[in-house]
Amino acid sequence: MFCERLNWKFYFALVVMCLFFAGCQETQNHDTYGPEPFSIIILPDTQIYPHDKPEWRNSSLKEVFIQQTTWIAQNKRKENIQFVLHMGDIVHEQHKPYQWVNANEAMSILDGVVPYCFGVGNHDLINRAEEGGIIRDSTNFNNTFSHSRYENQPWFGGRMSSDGFLPKDNYDNSYHFFCAGGMEFMIITLEVAPTDEMLDWANDVVRSHPDKRVMVITHAYLDGDETRVVNEPYAPSGKSNSGEEIWNKFVRKHKNIFFVFCGHHNNHADYKGLLASVGDNGNTVYQLISGEDYDGWLRILRFVPAENKIYVKTYSPWKPDDPELQLEQYDFSLPGYNTDPYHQYDIVYEQRNSVGSYPTKL
């Protein structure tokens, strides 16, 4: 009888302990004491890889995309990867089914391994010349990466199901959660050149989660010279907002937004593609462009809470059969890190305070 009572009390205590430690908690690192470092991975525009025609452009190979996501899956534990953020332009020609098949093959490697989300790009929308250019119809994106594929995942937060465009029930604008380093994060995705209605939705989502540290993905936001885009020629027809308008109508208003990620353009030579701006509440918002749609480049952001820093590295896991397949030639071999100061640096970000980051020196 005593043993039965002891077992009952033991299991009850075990359940209580599990409930207590569930959710976001600060896991101790054996080397640094404190919250454990973690990473997020940025996938720049992948459009040339599903195209899979190297004669059209160097490194236009499906295998590059597959090697990118395979590396992420294989290094999930080593890098403590919490989320993958795709900058959009998933495919080059959205009307060609084989390109979505290729993209799905690559991204499916992450299913059940690492959470991921997309910032729908202009190449992911239908382009009809007779209707004046790009229109907001993401049917093929949604047929491949539908909300039903993700909505039962624990990291899925919600979506703007009706944005007034096709398809009527879509996944183009969404939000997601993850916990790492003792902090709670929310990621908001906005399709390329969002409308006022999309920005109103995003404003409401952020206001509803004041305790979350917020990252925003939208495809076209910065230009390569570290300025926000004012006029975007590839925006869909009809009302849309540029990077500068997204900043003024949405990003700058919220003290808990600390990062905006985008693609679409490449950062120019001698530029990091990083802009730091101060929001209306005195918080620093970092804005980073990652549009390297060639040679398999990934951006790794390593958060180290004990140091209040984010270490940025640029890495390609691609092993080309012939260096001539590369778009560019480097003084190092692939796979490898690009270690020049425009691709490897650190960012000061307060990770031990209340929600939001506060400027040190810009």
Most confident by average pLDDT, 115-129, 189-203, 230-244: 189-203
* Predicted pLDDT at 131: 65
pLDDT tens track for 73-98: 999 999 999 999 999 999 999 999 99
Residue 279 has pLDDT above 50, yes or no: yes
Strand pairing partners for 215?
Answer: 187, 259
What is the C-alpha radius of gyration for the chain, rounded to an integer number of angstroms? 21
Residue 49 has pLDDT above 80, yes or no: yes
pLDDT tens track for 148-184: 999 999 999 999 988 888 999 999 999 999 999 999 9
Are 202 and 218 within 8 A, CB to CB?
Answer: no
Instruction: Give the pLDDT band (50/70/90) at residue 130.
Output: low
Out of 45-54, 175-184, 344-353, pick the least confident.
Answer: 344-353
Out of 7-21, 103-117, 313-327, pick the least confident.
Answer: 7-21
Residue 362 has pLDDT above 50, yes or no: no
* Predicted pLDDT at 355: 64
Residue-averaged pLDDT of the chain: 88
Instruction: Give the pLDDT band (50/70/90) at residue 356.
Output: low
Please state the rounded mean pLDDT for residues 238-259: 95
* Predicted pLDDT at 266: 86
pLDDT tens track for 250-272: 999 999 999 999 999 988 888 99
* Predicted pLDDT at 127: 74
Alpha helices by DSSP H, listed for the chain, are 2-21, 48-51, 62-74, 76-79, 97-107, 139-144, 196-207, 243-249
Please state the rounded mean pLDDT for residues 333-359: 84
Q: DSSP E strands: which ranges in 108-211?
A: 116-118, 127-128, 133-134, 156-159, 174-180, 183-190
Q: CA-CA-CA-CA torsion for 68, 69, 73, 74, nearest 10 degrees?
A: -30
Domains in the chain with CATH codes: 39-348 (3.60.21.40)
b (16+ CB within 10 A) / e for 253-291: bbbbbbbbbbbbbbbeeebbbbbbbebeeebbbbbbbbb
In 3D, which of 14, 96, 86 has the Cα closest to residue 52?
96
If one counts every other C-beta atom within 10 angstroms of the C-beta of residue 229, the result is 23
Largest CA distance in the chain: 82
Judge if the upstream peptide bond of residue 335 is cis by omega within 30 degrees of 0: yes
State residue 289 phi and psi, 5-degree precision: -100, 135
Please state the rounded mean pLDDT for residues 211-226: 95
